[in-house]
Each structure stands twice: as structure tokens, then as C-alpha cells.
Structure 1
Amino acid sequence: MHATSLTFFAIVSAALASPLPRALPTPVSTATAKTYLSQLTVTVDSNVPAYARSAFKTWDIISGNCDTRETVLIRDGTNVVTNNACTATSGNWVSPYDGVPTTLASDLDIDHVVPLKEAWISGARDWTDAQREAFTNDLTRPQLVAVTDNLNQSKGDRDVAKWVPPLASFVCTYVRAWVQVKYYYSLTIDSAEKTALTNYLNNC
């Protein structure tokens, strides 16, 4: 990982010891994202060995009874009420990908900005299970966000050359977050992905 002395295990330990976050991490600036992008390795994606969702453990317990999903729902919503199991029973959320509001936590998925299969084919296949678990539950980088469930499902595992949020005002935030996550975890990009990222960042 770049610019850090923390191991993945230290990241997990810090997350478990920390209070619940209250704000979505802000991605790096456009200028910084451009610098990071220039330093990413461009290569062909590899799915050998084949991706398996089970290689990425979700969800971790973050604080008390609150796991990663519930932590993001609390962070990204307003007036969120939870029961003793930390399940969100009510609240107000607006999906930043499409601007759609909801009062039902069941309408929301927790999206991995850089999808798990995308991480796998761009380097995570070589990580340990603990490293993949830390990535999957990362609340420090702008990698997890509560979004409309059917939109998240339509995104699937596509990278930015094939999918960005339909809400135009969020696209710059999304691509800056994408680059930051890929840079932090030393993940690679393919040539179409780099072209798309470059074009989006030039228009931010």
C-alpha cells in the first residue's frame, strides 16, 4: 500500500476500536487524483485464479453490535434509529448515485466503489484473506456507500469504463474515490479504465 506504515491487520484493529464514523470520507482532490492516476500500473486484468465472492469476508463487527453495513447506514442516513442488534429500523437516506430518497434500510445496498471482483482481477487475487477482509470493510477510504439496491445490482462488477453513477453531479466524486482506493491498495488499471478516468478527471 502507498504512503502508509499500517498493515492490514492494524487497519482492522483500529476500525474495531474506533467509534462509529459520522461522515462519508471525502475523496482526494481532482489534482491529487490525477497524480495518483499517473502512478497506477496499467496492465491487462487477470481472473486467474477465478474470482470467488467468498474470498472477501463481510461484514465485520465495527462497534458494539454494529457491523460494517449497519455502520454505513448510520453514517449515511439522518434520524437513523436502530434496535439492540444495531439493525436500522427507521431513518432517511438519499442515494448519492441517483438522488433517490428512501426511509427503508432494506432499499439500500452497501456498494463497494471499487467492486470486489474488480479488485480481484486488478491485484487482490494475490492478497491474503485478512487483506481482502480489510479491503471489503474499509471505512477509512471512500470505498463504502449506501445506495439504491437495484442500482447497485445494475452496476455489478463493472469498472468506470463501463459504469459511473447516473447522477452527473456525483461522477467526479465517484472517479476521485475510485482512483484513491486503487492507489491506496496498489491495484492496477486496464487501458480502457485509464482512458475513462483521465477523461472524467479532465472534466471535473
Structure 2
Amino acid sequence: MLELATIADEVAAGYSRDDWNHWIDQDGDGLDTRQEVLAAESLQTPEISENRVRDGQWASFYDGRQTSSASDFDVDHVVPLNEAHQSGGWAWDALTRQLYANDLTFPDHLIAVSASSNRSKGARDPAEWLPSNPEALCTYLAWWTAIKVRWELSMDPAEHQTISRYADNQCAGTRIDLAAADAGTVQITVAAQTPPTDAQTPSDGSDCHPAYDPCLPIVDDLNCSDVKELGQAPVTIINIGQDPYRLDGNRDGVACT
């Protein structure tokens, strides 16, 4: 996917956060985009009142911090709005900027993280900032790359060089599936480059996700409720830190307990 990215200098002038309309209630259910992300990423059924998520259980992907209060966490644009502006969003119309700022169609475009990690990151790209949680590094870089290509945003030379260096070394086992590409958009899964074992292969011969034991189906997204309905909980994370469905909130290697 890095080979699909355009390398270009950034356009820093002209950014205004007010030009990127968020958070909006896209489906009219009373929850705006921030609340939708908090509700979806809570590790237990959250308390919702007056169209706000109040209490639940969250684990910050960037630094591993946990909380039961939604107000402690920010909802982060993995590729920040200012970075999107500098990388090509400066030329977008208002509707495209709104769609980007509230994108829930790719589940890792927006994530709930600790306020301190979000403030630390700011608008910096991977050449300037990386998550302190080492188990998050490769997945974060895969998300970043996928979002940049998906939205046809460029990378500056230092940004591209940094991601490429990790892709060739520490993150060489991370893969992005490009099979489902349509009109410039890409659906992705991120997984360790680990061949499925016999225990991970379903008896019917269907595809099986190599990141988990027992076998989980390869789908766009999966949560612990789905896993329990399949009768496969608890689930072992084969390589801690490679958890594309984000089932292991406390990063202990055992998910959906």
C-alpha cells in the first residue's frame, strides 16, 4: 500500500478546524460521531443518557490506560484533521471534509484514546510521533497508511521514509489486504504474518483469521458479543499486539473473558 501513496510536500497554510464539521449525528439516532465511537469501543455495555455515553470501560490503544468514565477519553482522528488538510484536504469541499471528519465506515479511522496521548500526538505524523505502547506501533502505522491511501492523501518524504523503514523491519509481519478495492476506497484487515495452524482452520475449509485461537472468521469487524454467539470465547491472541478486531482490551493475550 505504501507504493500506492503519493509523496509530496505538505501545504501547511489555510487550516481551520472550523472547516471540518464534526461531530454530527449521521444516522439520526441522537448520538453524534464522538458518542458513536465511545459506545462502539466500550469493553462493556455503556451507560447512555441524554444522548451521551456516560460510563463504560475503555482501554487506550496508544498507551494502554483504562477508564470507566467517557469524559476521560478523547476520540482521535488517527490521521488528524490538520494532517489531512496539509496532505490534500486543503482542496476538498465542505462536504468531503465533513465526511472525513466523521468517517465511521472504516472502524479505525476514529478511535477512543486517553486524553493525554491524544494531546501528546496533536497533529503530528509518524515521523514526529508514535504511540508509547510498543504493541500498538505496527497496527497504528498500518491504519495510518490505509487511511492516507483510502482518502488519496499524500505523504511527505520524512513520513513515507519513517513508515517504510518500519514496514521493512519491525513491522515486516504486518499485512494490509488490498483485495477489496473499489473506486479508490480500500477495506483492510491487519494481521501478523503467521500461517494458520490446524487448530485455527475450520473443518468446512472456510477462511480463518490467523491472529486468533480458536479460529475466528475473516470479516470486516467482530466484537466479543459475536464471538460468544459463535461459542468460541475466550480467545487467545496469537501475538499480543496483533489484535485486528480489538477483542483484548487489557492486552493480556486472552480476549472476550
Structure 2 equivalent of residue 80 of structure 1: 46
Structure 2 equivalent of residue 33 of structure 1: none
1:151 has 2:117 as partner: yes
CA distance in 1 between partners of 2:53 and 2:7 (Å): 41
CA distance in 2 between partners of 1:126 and 1:88 (Å): 34
Tell me the SS of whatever aligns to 1:154: helix
Tell me the SS of whatever aligns to 1:62: coil
Structure 1 equivalent of residue 22 of structure 2: 58
Whichever of the two has the greater Rg, that structure is 2
CA distance in 1 between partners of 2:79 and 2:159 (Å): 12
1:200 has 2:166 as partner: yes
TM-score (norm 1): 0.80
Structure 1 equivalent of residue 76 of structure 2: 111
Cα pair 2:82 2:123 within 8 Å, conserved: yes
Q: Give the partner amino acid of 2:125.
A: D
Cα pair 2:54 2:71 within 8 Å, conserved: no
Q: Give the partner amino acid of 1:163.
A: W
- Name stretches of at least 5 consecutive residues in structure 1 with no aligned partner: 1-35
CA distance in 1 between partners of 2:32 and 2:22 (Å): 9
Cα pair 1:62 1:71 within 8 Å, conserved: no
Q: Deviations over 1:25-52 (max 9, x none)?
A: xxxxxxxxxxx2111111111123x111
TM-score (norm 2): 0.63
Structure 2 equivalent of residue 184 of structure 1: 150
1:67 has 2:52 as partner: no
CA distance in 1 between partners of 2:167 and 2:75 (Å): 25
Out of 64, 78, 89, the residue aligned to residue 54 of structure 2 is: 89
- Report how many aligned residue pairs link the two structures: 167
**Structure showing greater relative contact order (alpha-carbon pairs closer than 8 Å, 6 or more residues apart):** 1
Q: Give the partner amino acid of 2:134.
A: A
Out of 133, 143, 151, the residue aligned to residue 167 of structure 1 is: 133
Deviation at 1:103, TM superposition (A): 0.7
- Name stretches of at least 5 consecutive residues in structure 2 with no aligned partner: 172-257
Q: Which has the higher helix share?
A: 1
Structure 2 equivalent of residue 124 of structure 1: 89
Cα RMSD (Å): 1.0
Deviation at 1:90, TM superposition (A): 1.1
Q: Give the partner amino acid of 2:10.
A: D
Cα pair 1:143 1:177 within 8 Å, conserved: yes
Cα pair 1:97 1:165 within 8 Å, conserved: yes
CA distance in 1 between partners of 2:54 and 2:146 (Å): 33
**Paired-residue identity, %:** 36
Deviation at 1:79, TM superposition (A): 2.4
